[in-house]
Amino acid sequence: HLSQLYNFEVQLHSGVPLSEQWKLASVGDVAVAHFSGDVKVWDAEPDQELSLLASPHSQPVMESLSKSVRQNAEVRCQILHIEWHRIFACALKRCRVDLETWPDKSWTAVLQTGYLKSKARNAEALLTSLLSEHATGSRALEGLLPGDNVVVGGSQVQRLATILRTPYREGEVLLWQVPLPLEGEHAMGSCIAVNADCLTPTKEALTLGVG
């Protein structure tokens, strides 16, 4: 018998066994997350809400849950959604580091921006378009790639972060931030869009005594 935690249905649908384990599981309990929604985890940006409902037909199932169980499931869904994108960005960095050549040119834009939808025949044109749309901050964006670690923050509070999307909005990149100690031991970090000028690559940060 395989525990639900090793094939954990993050989104709710009629086929999800509503066991006590599913109802009460925290993010830290989940070993393998399984997303089954009509809107896939990779179709929603990391800072967008991913619906707990796998499809509208599951509404009666959700309404049958208690308020506390529903809230736990919704929070769990959002955290695991963000975590999927963080792991994806780290995987892109691993590919850039480990592979001398990439056999499929359609992955060029994916590796450089973090946008999975950019895997298409016109990937190079899309990458050029993305950069031109954000030309104002293009110089600051140079060298910032998905999966890279940076330091964000002012003189009072500085946080380690991982780049998820670059560029995101004009002159900005989308980051996953390491949680602060005051957020609790079970905090899983958060997404934030930050102007590229406000970021410090981790190597430079260590030189400055950060971290």
Q: Which comes out higher in pLDDT, residue 118 or 116?
A: 116
Distance CA 85, CA 159 (A): 19
Single pTM value for the model: 0.81
Query: Is 133 a residue whose pLDDT tops 60?
Result: no
Q: Which of 199, 203, 156 is closest to 175 using CA atoms?
A: 199
Mean pLDDT of the chain, nearest integer: 79
The answer to whether residues 80 and 52 touch, using CB atoms and an 8 Å cutoff, is: no
Over residues 158-183, the pLDDT tens digits come to 788 999 998 787 778 899 988 776 66
Confidence of residue 31 (pLDDT cuts 50, 70, 90): very high
pLDDT on residue 136: 46
pLDDT at 205: 43
**Which has more pLDDT, 8 or 182?**
8
